[in-house]
């Protein structure tokens, strides 16, 4: 008896049953082929993503990326330009890296404005106020910086 199994929705793998009540098995050839197909599809996806721009990516109505893994620094520059930030300075990049680090390393945590102020004060070694963040990101820093960082839209109000 044969079945066709799809792992992760994209890997076809033939399974064979060793007769009635038998266990499921697969041939090494089928497994190797499925594994190669999976890795080739990943390489193709990455290669295509490298030449894609912000306009080509899936995003919601507000412009937040559907998949934070599709983000790149070039995409960030495009999003910033659309939001009226002509140039991303080192301080802009520090905030973006802080937000991405918090999101990726802390199970999807998205800091509010107060947490960003505290984090940047510690990182820059100087007292940072909320006005300093608004100078960098004029439209609510936690949300605008998260959008430029390629993170999902936060449903909280932000602020203090």
- 28-48 pLDDT, tens per residue? 555 444 444 444 344 334 444
- 52-66 pLDDT, tens per residue? 677 777 778 888 888
Cα–Cα distances in Å, from 150 out to 97, 106, 108, 146?
11, 16, 12, 6
Q: Give one word for 113, left, alpha or beta, with left for phi > 0 and alpha for psi -120 to 50.
A: alpha
C-alpha span between 152 and 63 (Å, rounded): 10
C-alpha span between 104 and 91 (Å, rounded): 20
The token duo for 99 is 């937000």
pLDDT higher than 90, residue 156: no
């Amino acid at each position: 008896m044969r079945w066709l199994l799809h792992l992760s929705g994209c890997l076809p793998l033939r399974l064979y049953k060793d007769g009635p009540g038998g266990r499921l098995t697969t041939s090494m050839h089928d497994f190797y082929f499925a594994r190669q197909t999976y890795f080739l599809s990943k390489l193709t996806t990455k290669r295509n993503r490298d030449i894609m721009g912000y306009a080509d990516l899936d995003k919601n109505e507000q412009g937040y990326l559907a998949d934070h893994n599709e983000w790149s620094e070039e995409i960030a520059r495009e999003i910033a330009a659309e939001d009226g930030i002509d140039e991303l300075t080192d301080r802009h990049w520090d905030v973006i890296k802080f937000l991405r680090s918090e999101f990726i390393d802390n199970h999807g945590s998205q800091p509010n404005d107060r947490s960003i102020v505290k984090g940047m004060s510690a990182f820059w070694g100087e007292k940072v106020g909320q006005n300093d963040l608004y100078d960098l990101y004029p439209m609510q820093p936690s949300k605008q910086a998260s959008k430029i960082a390629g993170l999902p839209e936060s449903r909280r109000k932000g602020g203090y």
